[in-house]
Structure 1
Amino acid sequence: MDTQGSISNENKTDQLEDFALLIEMAELPQDSSVKDHCIYRVPQKVRHIKEAAYTPRVVSIGPFHHGEERLILMEKLKLGYLKSFLQGTGLTLDKCMSKLKEWEPMIRNCYAESIQLDSDPFLKMILIDAAFIIELFLRYYDVGNWIQSDPLFLKPWLAEDVAHDLILLENQLPFCVLNGLFKLATADIITGDFPSFLNLTFTYFADLNSQKIQPDSVSVKHFTDLLRVFYLPPVERLPKRSDVNNILDHLYSANELVEAGVKFKVDKTKKCFLELQYNNGVLTMPRLDVSDRTEFHLRNIVAFEQAQFPHETYITDYLKVLDFLIDDERDVNVLIHRGIITTLLGDSNEVATMINCLCSNLIQPNMNLEYLTICRQLKEFYEKPVNKWKAGMIHDYFDTPVKIATSIAAMVLLILTAIQTVCTVIPLVNSN
């Protein structure tokens, strides 16, 4: 009797039954829960291009980087802020934890992956991080009284790194949790002069709010979302969108467009750099200030757009157009000389590399309709025969100092040859 074969068949049957049970128990995420997600890990295909752009330098906020050894040093400071927060507001630890317990399903559902922490350690982490942020913002709002005593304000480099870390997509708490805990802490404050948590947030991030947007009608999911709001035009000025089409298969760079006769002009009246305009061969663009910080901000906003707003990628749209305009340092120089780009980076080539890498590995099912129209008009302008001929002439004979010198020398030689020929022919004609 083949006992071994019988046991083997039984094992296979058990494995199939287990597999069938696993399939039976499987469930796809419900639409309602997926819609609540707003905090994501950056996809590896994007993250690997520049890890540092998505990774906190000194402080972890939320679960994604919690417990990382290099960030442990800040945990002691966060506990000190929690103690100060509780003492200053009169809240008890029990009351905070009880309220967070009520919110726990909502908090967990804000993260786009299951958080492998039990309830108690998860809520303690949320409380420590939330209290740290609220206390930090309160101290910053009253910075004159804290500048000589707060551990962060005494080390400007550390305060700068903390501010940097607070806007990273992977380093977020839901804004509603911060706001809810702040309201709990200030429920007994009667004076109407006390700021809302949104006002505190706008004060802390004031240097990023170049458009001077007011907090009155702003609703945000977290600080990365707020950063995106700072970059967008008002909702009523957001253009319609359209499917990406073959217009984007090939577009001409800034240097090529200039050779064809396109004029680039800076618009000094607009604070939102997304608002491009094209009219009769003139492309008008607001100024873009480029620095290391610009890259970190844009990378996190783009990652957030890809996950949260795949059909409203307004920042990504702009970077896509900029990517088309910029192939190398010559294109960057065109935009710098017109005042459209200012840069604190090392050189024009570094700016070109940064812009070209920002759009790597991104998916874009649709695009800002105004940008698509501008791209089509620029392409049509360049491809007019006379403009294309002009661009070809400039590219072939006048786009480098050596070519210019060579072309001028050839023309001078041609003129001199013509003069010599005329001078030779005239006496012959007169003699006849």
Structure 2
Amino acid sequence: MDHNGSEAAGGSMIEGMEGGSHQQDLANCQALQSISEKIQNVKQLSPEACLFKVQEELRKTNRDAYTPLIISIGPYHHGKPELSKMERLKGLYLKSFLKRARGKGFGLADCWKKLKNLKDRPKRYYGDDHGIKVSGDEFVKMLLLDGCFIVEFLIRLGYENEEVEKYDTIFRISGTANSVVRDMLLLENQLPFFVLRELYDMITIPCKLEFSEMVKRTLGFVLPKMNVISIHSTNVNIEEIKHLLEAVHILCQPRLSTNGCIQQERDSTCFCCWFSKQPQANAAQGVDIESHSCIFCKFGNCTCLLCKFGKQQPSTTDDLDAESYHIPTATELREAGVDFKKVGKIGSINSNETTCLFDINFNHNVLEIPSFGLYDDSESFFKNLIAYELYSPDVHPKHFVSFALFMDDLINTDKDVILLRKKGIFISGLGDDAMVSDLFNNLCRGVTYSHDDFYYGDVYKKLIQHCNMPWNVLKAKLRRDYFHSPWAGISTIAAIWLLSLTTAQTVVAFIDLFN
């Protein structure tokens, strides 16, 4: 090989390598510059951000549950063609709102100025910038139309003496008002609560209530059976309420939050008591309780061997695995001797009602569950409040997540649904029992939660302890197979008595034979 040719070839190879290295450095520089620009353009999430688009993991079980049907509120669904029919009605509602505002000397310009002076604060409530397609004056216009619509709608829904105009198809077409309420309680269909309060303060109406009380008075008639309390009776600062869905969540909380704690169970397992249990009506509570009539147990002198065999130790929770947050289904619990009783009345909104949806207790082998109704909008209602709790790290405990998990464990098939429905725990307007089962089995798909936020920890532990006692299962089997009715019990006792007499007669005969 020619030496000079080799040197030329080697030089060209070096130059090619140097050229490739230079191109690679240039590409790296461009990539770094692009990343640097992207970092500089990223907006810091506001501490006030509380309204987000629902993640795909939750949405995929039922997309319609998070999507408005007839009306858009806020920027996420603003301008959608399928929701445009209600825009004309928003204008008519604004006109009625301004008539009320004139009583305080306010006009359209004053409303616009008040919202304009809020500057960017309302927009900071929305955490997904890519989902907001309006800005500037168009954003203020959206706040004005949507905010005035909500205030005017709540007034018309809450005051019976409100005259409905001929144009108002919401109240003239059956079921439309419920659809509007359903859309108003979607996480993606919210306005900042302070915007609604600012607009509400600009109008005058007879017997005007504070805005949070107006929400209670209005939505208390359309929410599922719950103990709708006054926000003023809670520890919540009204100024800190972020949106209407959060206000509803607060209204649905138990009157006295006990984190699922229940009284210590005093369950006698006396065999003679077991036969003499008689249900007694408790008029004050509206539920049934069981009393033990054995005189020996009352004085602590019961000597029944079967009692001592089946005696349960005092209930403790330290020996249970903290991760065991699953219970048997309703059918399996019944086979383990657990009875089910409803608490309260379906559809009750009496302010004196002492129970709410979350007041679930387990005492004396009886699982008490507040009654409630299931309708077409129930899935959307539960899913959006569950999503709200998941997006709210400051909400503890998570009542709706806990309730959904509880019902998911309790209901596995339509047999469980039939059992609870026959006990009067809920009524179903969904069609068949399989639809109820599917509803509760899908509520928590994609939901991750901390056990520290679970509301029914103590109830679960007591149920698990009960099911782990063989004596409870034996009692349930005896009662179900041999004592399911008074005549069956008498027949069983008579058979045992005859068997005892026959055995005694046989023993005596053997003794006489040997003597």
Instruction: Give me the TM-score of the superposition, normalised by structure 1.
Output: 0.80
Change over 3 Å in CA distance of 1:279–1:137 after alignment to 2:
closer
Change over 3 Å in CA distance of 1:377–1:195 after alignment to 2:
closer
User: 1: distance between equivalents of 2:355 and 2:231?
Assistant: 17
Q: Partner amino acid for 1:125?
A: M
Q: Are 2:216 and 2:251, in contact at CA under 8 Å, matched by a contact in 1?
A: no
1:48 paired residue number: 60
Change over 3 Å in CA distance of 1:130–1:280 after alignment to 2:
same
Q: Are 2:178 and 2:222, in contact at CA under 8 Å, matched by a contact in 1?
A: no
* Alpha-carbon offset, residue 75 of structure 1: 0.9
1:312 aligns with 2:397: yes
User: 1: distance between equivalents of 2:24 and 2:400?
Assistant: 58
* Alpha-carbon offset, residue 66 of structure 1: 0.4
Change over 3 Å in CA distance of 1:370–1:74 after alignment to 2:
closer
Query: CA offsets, 1:97-119, max 9 Å, x none?
Result: 33222223221111122234321
1:366 paired residue number: 451
1:208 aligns with 2:222: yes
* Alpha-carbon offset, residue 202 of structure 1: 2.7
Between Structure 1 and Structure 2, which shows a larger proportion of helix residues? 1
Query: CA offsets, 1:333-388, max 9 Å, x none?
Result: 22122222222222222211111111111011124666212211211211223345
RMSD value over aligned CA atoms?
3.4
Listed as ranges, the matches of 1:141-160 within 5 Å are: 141-149=158-166, 150-160=168-178
Query: CA offsets, 1:188-216, max 9 Å, x none?
Result: x6x98433333432333131364242354
Task: Give unmatched runs, 5+ long, in structure 1.
Answer: 399-432
Q: SS of 1:292's equivalent?
A: coil
Change over 3 Å in CA distance of 1:16–1:251 after alignment to 2:
same
1:109 aligns with 2:130: no
* Alpha-carbon offset, residue 250 of structure 1: 4.4
User: 2: distance between equivalents of 1:131 and 1:73?
Assistant: 17
Matched positions, count: 392
Query: CA offsets, 1:229-265, max 9 Å, x none?
Result: 232112x4242799x9644354211111111111222
Q: Are 2:227 and 2:357, in contact at CA under 8 Å, matched by a contact in 1?
A: no
1:385 paired residue number: 470
* Alpha-carbon offset, residue 166 of structure 1: 1.1
Task: Give unmatched runs, 5+ long, in structure 2.
Answer: 1-14, 262-316, 345-352, 483-515
1:232 paired residue number: 253
Q: Partner amino acid for 1:301?
A: L
1:288 paired residue number: 372
* Alpha-carbon offset, residue 140 of structure 1: 3.5
Pick one of 414, 417, 424 that aligns with 1:339. 424
Q: Are 1:305 and 1:312, in contact at CA under 8 Å, matched by a contact in 2?
A: no
Q: Partner amino acid for 1:264?
A: F
Change over 3 Å in CA distance of 1:122–1:254 after alignment to 2:
same
User: 2: distance between equivalents of 1:299 and 1:325?
Assistant: 18
Q: Are 2:336 and 2:473, in contact at CA under 8 Å, matched by a contact in 1?
A: yes
User: 2: distance between equivalents of 1:223 and 1:84?
Assistant: 22
Query: Over alpha carbons, which structure has the higher Rg?
Result: 2
Relative to structure 2, which stretch is displaced further, 92-101 or 344-353?
A: 92-101
User: 1: distance between equivalents of 2:479 and 2:55?
Assistant: 43
Change over 3 Å in CA distance of 1:10–1:290 after alignment to 2:
same
Identity of aligned residues (%): 29
Q: Partner amino acid for 2:152?
A: E
1:98 aligns with 2:116: no
Pick one of 206, 210, 234 that aligns with 1:196. 210
Q: Are 1:146 and 1:153, in contact at CA under 8 Å, matched by a contact in 2?
A: no
Pick one of 338, 343, 346 that aligns with 1:267. 343
2:150 paired residue number: 133
* Alpha-carbon offset, residue 58 of structure 1: 0.7
Q: Are 1:175 and 1:222, in contact at CA under 8 Å, matched by a contact in 2?
A: yes
Q: Are 1:325 and 1:331, in contact at CA under 8 Å, matched by a contact in 2?
A: yes
User: 1: distance between equivalents of 2:379 and 2:329?
Assistant: 21
Q: Are 1:261 and 1:387, in contact at CA under 8 Å, matched by a contact in 2?
A: yes
Change over 3 Å in CA distance of 1:319–1:367 after alignment to 2:
farther
1:21 aligns with 2:36: yes
Change over 3 Å in CA distance of 1:245–1:196 after alignment to 2:
same
Q: Partner amino acid for 2:87?
A: E
Pick one of 246, 266, 276 that aligns with 2:360. 276
Q: Partner amino acid for 1:178?
A: L
User: 2: distance between equivalents of 1:8 and 1:354?
Assistant: 58
2:84 paired residue number: 72
Q: Partner amino acid for 1:239?
A: N
Q: Are 2:171 and 2:177, in contact at CA under 8 Å, matched by a contact in 1?
A: yes
Instruction: Give me the TM-score of the superposition, normalised by structure 2.
Output: 0.68
Change over 3 Å in CA distance of 1:24–1:76 after alignment to 2:
closer
Query: CA offsets, 1:7-33, max 9 Å, x none?
Result: 734641441441452376376846xx3
